[in-house]
A and B are shown apart, each in its own frame.
Chain A
Amino acid sequence: MNQGLEVRGVTVAYGDAAPAVTGASLGVACGEVVALTGPSGCGKSTLLRAISGLEPLVAGSIEWGGHDLAAVPPHKRGFGLMFQDGQLFAHMSVAKNVAYGLNAQQFSKGERQRRVAELLELVGLPDYGGRAVTELSGGERQRIALARSLAPRPRLLLLDEPLSALDRELRERLSGELATLLRATGTTAILVTHDSQEAETVADRVLEMRAGRLVS
């Protein structure tokens, strides 16, 4: 495959401990949404961080469109990563958070504002731009975190348990919205979750991980 993501035999280890991920291989085509499930501690979040470039590989390779990413640092990969707890910047307003990824690209001020408004509309919080991050509820925080990750149009969006911190009712509603949103924007994505129902709802294809290895 020459398009999309290609992960080959990736092994990741922390210190001297046994590897958290062993020999993982997977491919994601452009526009495809793949879910990675498994019990907590099985290494699925570590694999996601390795793809993002935040964890160094012990072995294996990660390619995008046929190009090896080994020498490309995280901020140059053009990937987005959404954390379980959002990791919004508490010292910035909602709008500044969403605009953060746009500043690295060559956008004019007007374009940036338009893009922020567009994204806030998309996640259903159109008037929230001026608010402080600390005023938001848990669900609102995750919506803003999603808007922030999507704003720079990442060629691959990595979602690390994006809904796990929310209560069940909200999680079910948001997983539906997330599925629609990813399709509507044509985003290529990998979703890490321990909730198999959420995986079925959002993803085209579900991969399962156990004890650091991809099964199925």
Chain B
Amino acid sequence: MDEEVERSDRLVNAPRWLGRIGWGAAVALPLGFLLLFFLWPVVSLLSVGLGLSSVGGSAGAGGEAGRGSLGLETFRTVLADARTWRVLGQTLAQAICGTALSLLLGLPAAFVLYRLRFRGRGVLRGLATVPFVLPTVVVGVAFTALLGPGAPLGWLGLDQSFLIIVLALAFFNVTVVARTVGGFWAQLDGRPEQAARMLGASPARAFATITLPRLTPALASSAALVFLFCATSFGVVLVLGGRRFSNIETEIYRLTVQYLDLGSAAVLSIMQFVIVAAVLVVSGRLRRRLEHANEMRFDAGQGVRVTRAHLPAILVFTCTSLLLHALPIVALVIRSLRDGDGRFTLVNYAHLFAPPATARLNGSVIDATVLSIGIALVATAIAMLLGVLVALVASRRPRSRSLRRGIDAFDAFVMLPLGVSAVTVGFGLLLTMHRPLGLGFDLRTLGVLLPIAQALVALPLVVRTLLPVLRGLDPRQRDAAAMLGASPLRVLATIDLRVLARPLGLALGFAFATSLGEFGASAFLVRPESQTLPVMVAQLISRQGAENYGMALAAAVLLGLLTASVMLVAERWRGEVASEI
């Protein structure tokens, strides 16, 4: 016995500093990446816009009084402009209505997909991830293909209307509500409802008085997330809003690209950030409460058999799937198979390989597709590496309170790219990366900025997919492993990483699909000779001529098909896990 003690005494102190270095690197790598490629570009852009520094000058050196007042002056001008308030009003109105509609349609979908037991439920759940990851330009083009001028439902007069934007926002976010609320609902113990029924409550009353209050944390947290997605939506509003409708995001784009008015763009960026930060703080609070309440159960319910009482929910779910989701996509596919005169043909798809001379494209759509896939793969690798590190760090609950606060701040910081306009990030990168850190190589010409920008956009989604699973792990599982003699490294490998493997497929799918479809930042960073697929679709749709429109439709189908199939494969590969998205 004594020998054992001595042996272990000698072994003790060696790996401690090793652990510190390991965790230090796990924090430093994501943090350094975000500081260099996110915070610095964004802050530089804002300070240039507000006149605090000049292009190419060092950021954050705006201490002089004269320059400071210049920044305030910009603020005053922008805030005095009626257009600013109109844009802000439109952004909030779109986001509020989009969120409300998503909740209204998402709740029945959550019930059908996660509470009822029927054949094919798994397949339907898998399909429900697809609308969320479809690129915004694809959905924008699909909605114009159904409701635009000359489209099958063009007579409804919804083209360039407020309603079409809200519908498109709901297209993405109904499934977000269904998945986040559904995942929570599936884990709820059904006995309180049964108790209410035995006390004489009707199914409707049991739902309203027992189920709905219990779902509130999930609903609120999901609403905050959806509001965030709606308020920062770029592609949808750009494609569908036309001249009459915009939001802060498209306005920043318009100001920077068309008017080079960086000052006003910077003020709008800050306004958007304030809104987003407020929403993030609220949703963070709600999420923490939710994680607290949502304990994993060994015997999670299998769901209930379908009865006649469920008919209203099933009806709403069916209508949502068929009218809101399937119809625009079907219209897109059918119209992509027709030429300008309405005859069925494959000529639009042939043009993807060999564009007509009139299109004046640099290379074919297929070239852009191959390039996009390559870029998205690199972006996925970056986002996954950083995402796993962030999830491991953020799931720690050390004893020291200041360390815990630090970890919370780290978690919040990684989420920031969700809330800062992708347009701002793209333009900021363009502005700063000609001399990164004062070094003499121009990153803009190396073609590395696109995958970096896409990884920035994908990172929060990866973290929000991995983190809940790790946080759901009982910390005593790690204690149990340690008490069986496992070193910290072995605990990490056999407990944490094994648990992490379950949502890994889903996170990979999210990362690749969002990278492939990323539009806001890419719009700034692509070079004319090497375009990504979403940027090319947007470019084609904005041009005149039936041939260009036909190619845009076919390219949108290709892009949608790619992202959807990636997501469906990823879905098959994962276990049953509750993601926050």
B interface footprint on A64-75 (CB within 8 Å = 1, 0 otherwise): 111100011111
Contacting B499 at CB < 8 Å: which of A64, A79, A91, A104?
A91
Given A87-B474, A87-B479 in contact, is the A104-B8 Cβ separation under 8 Å?
no
B4's closest neighbor in chain A, by CB? Answer: A78
Question: How far apart are the CA atoms of A78 and B12 in the complex, in Å?
Answer: 13
Q: Is A56 located at the chain interface by the 8 A CB criterion?
A: yes
A100 touches B11 (CB 8 A): no
B54 to chain A, nearest CB (A): 50
Question: How far apart are the CA atoms of A100 and B480 in the complex, in Å?
Answer: 10
A145's closest neighbor in chain B, by CB? Answer: B480
A67 touches B479 (CB 8 A): no
Given A54-B479, A87-B480, A89-B477 in contact, is the A67-B9 Cβ separation under 8 Å?
yes
List which B459-500 residues lie within 8 A (CB) of chain A: 474, 476-477, 479-488, 490-491, 494-495, 498-499
On chain B, which size bracket covers the interface?
20 to 34
B289 to chain A, nearest CB (A): 20
List which A68-123 residues lie within 8 A (CB) of chain B: 71-81, 83, 87, 89-91, 100-101, 103-105
A81 touches B4 (CB 8 A): no
B12 touches A72 (CB 8 A): yes
A65 touches B1 (CB 8 A): yes
B495 touches A89 (CB 8 A): yes
A67's closest neighbor in chain B, by CB? Answer: B5
Question: How far apart are the CA atoms of A92 and B177 in the complex, in Å?
Answer: 33
Q: CB-CB < 8 A to A56: which residues of B?
A: 399
Contacting B494 at CB < 8 Å: which of A54, A66, A80, A100?
A100
List which B319-378 residues lie within 8 A (CB) of chain A: none
List which B1-23 residues lie within 8 A (CB) of chain A: 1-2, 4-6, 8-9, 11-13
Q: Is A210 located at the chain interface by the 8 A CB criterion?
A: no
B2's closest neighbor in chain A, by CB? Answer: A65
A101 touches B5 (CB 8 A): no
Question: How far apart are the CA atoms of A135 and B13 in the complex, in Å?
Answer: 41
B292 to chain A, nearest CB (A): 17
Q: Is A142 located at the chain interface by the 8 A CB criterion?
A: no
B11 touches A76 (CB 8 A): yes
Q: Is A40 located at the chain interface by the 8 A CB criterion?
A: no
List which B497-540 residues lie within 8 A (CB) of chain A: 498-499
Q: CB-CB < 8 A to A103: which residues of B?
A: 486, 490
A81 touches B479 (CB 8 A): yes
Q: Is B259 located at the chain interface by the 8 A CB criterion?
A: no
A98's closest neighbor in chain B, by CB? Answer: B484
Q: Is A171 located at the chain interface by the 8 A CB criterion?
A: no
A145 to chain B, nearest CB (A): 9
Q: Which secondary structure characterizes the binding site on chain B?
A: helix
B180 to chain A, nearest CB (A): 23
Given A89-B477, A155-B1 in contact, is the A71-B486 Cβ separation under 8 Å?
no
A80 touches B483 (CB 8 A): yes
B483 touches A71 (CB 8 A): no
Contacting B12 at CB < 8 Å: which of A73, A81, A87, A158?
A73
Q: CB-CB < 8 A to B482: which residues of A?
A: 54, 73-75
Q: CB-CB < 8 A to A11: which residues of B?
A: none
Q: Which secondary structure characterizes the binding site on chain A?
A: loop
B451 to chain A, nearest CB (A): 33
B7's closest neighbor in chain A, by CB? Answer: A76
A64 touches B5 (CB 8 A): yes
Q: CB-CB < 8 A to B487: which residues of A?
A: 75, 104
Question: How far apart are the CA atoms of A127 and B380 in the complex, in Å?
Answer: 44
B484 touches A71 (CB 8 A): no
A75 touches B476 (CB 8 A): no
B interface footprint on A36-47 (CB within 8 Å = 1, 0 otherwise): 000000000000
Q: CB-CB < 8 A to B484: which residues of A?
A: 75, 80, 100-101, 104, 148-149, 152
B486 touches A83 (CB 8 A): no
List which B61-78 residues lie within 8 A (CB) of chain A: none
A83 touches B480 (CB 8 A): yes
Q: Is A22 located at the chain interface by the 8 A CB criterion?
A: no
B11's closest neighbor in chain A, by CB? Answer: A76
List which B407-442 residues lie within 8 A (CB) of chain A: none
Q: Is A52 located at the chain interface by the 8 A CB criterion?
A: yes
Q: CB-CB < 8 A to A65: which residues of B?
A: 1-2, 5
A105 touches B5 (CB 8 A): no
A14's closest neighbor in chain B, by CB? Answer: B399
A interface footprint on B251-290 (CB within 8 Å = 1, 0 otherwise): 0000000000000000000000000000000000000000
Question: How far apart are the CA atoms of A80 and B474 in the complex, in Å?
Answer: 18
B399 touches A101 (CB 8 A): no
Given A71-B13, A72-B12 in contact, is the A155-B4 Cβ separation under 8 Å?
yes
A interface footprint on B44-86 (CB within 8 Å = 1, 0 otherwise): 0000000000000000000000000000000000000000000
Question: How far apart are the CA atoms of A81 and B13 in the complex, in Å?
Answer: 23
Q: CB-CB < 8 A to A75: which residues of B?
A: 481-488, 491
A69's closest neighbor in chain B, by CB? Answer: B5
A157 to chain B, nearest CB (A): 10
Question: How far apart are the CA atoms of A90 and B474 in the complex, in Å?
Answer: 11
Contacting A91 at CB < 8 Å: which of B476, B483, B498?
B498
B570 to chain A, nearest CB (A): 20
A76 touches B479 (CB 8 A): no
A119 to chain B, nearest CB (A): 13
A74 touches B5 (CB 8 A): no
Q: Is A180 located at the chain interface by the 8 A CB criterion?
A: no
B8 touches A77 (CB 8 A): yes
A161 to chain B, nearest CB (A): 13
Question: How far apart are the CA atoms of A105 and B6 in the complex, in Å?
Answer: 16
B481 touches A100 (CB 8 A): yes
Given A87-B477, A87-B480, A100-B484 in contact, is the A71-B4 Cβ separation under 8 Å?
no
Question: How far apart are the CA atoms of A66 and B482 in the complex, in Å?
Answer: 23
Extra inter-chain contacts (12) besides given A76-B11, A101-B485, CB under 8 Å: A75-B482, A75-B491, A76-B485, A78-B485, A83-B479, A87-B476, A87-B480, A89-B477, A103-B486, A104-B484, A152-B484, A158-B483
**Could you pull out 24 A-B pairs where Cβ atoms are within 8 angstroms?**
A54-B479, A65-B2, A67-B9, A71-B12, A72-B9, A72-B12, A73-B12, A73-B488, A75-B481, A75-B484, A75-B491, A76-B11, A80-B483, A80-B484, A83-B476, A83-B480, A87-B476, A87-B477, A90-B298, A91-B499, A104-B485, A104-B487, A104-B490, A149-B484
For the complex of A and B, list the 8 residue pairs with the smallest distance between their C-beta atoms, beginning with the closest.
A101-B484, A104-B485, A81-B483, A87-B480, A76-B8, A75-B482, A67-B5, A74-B482
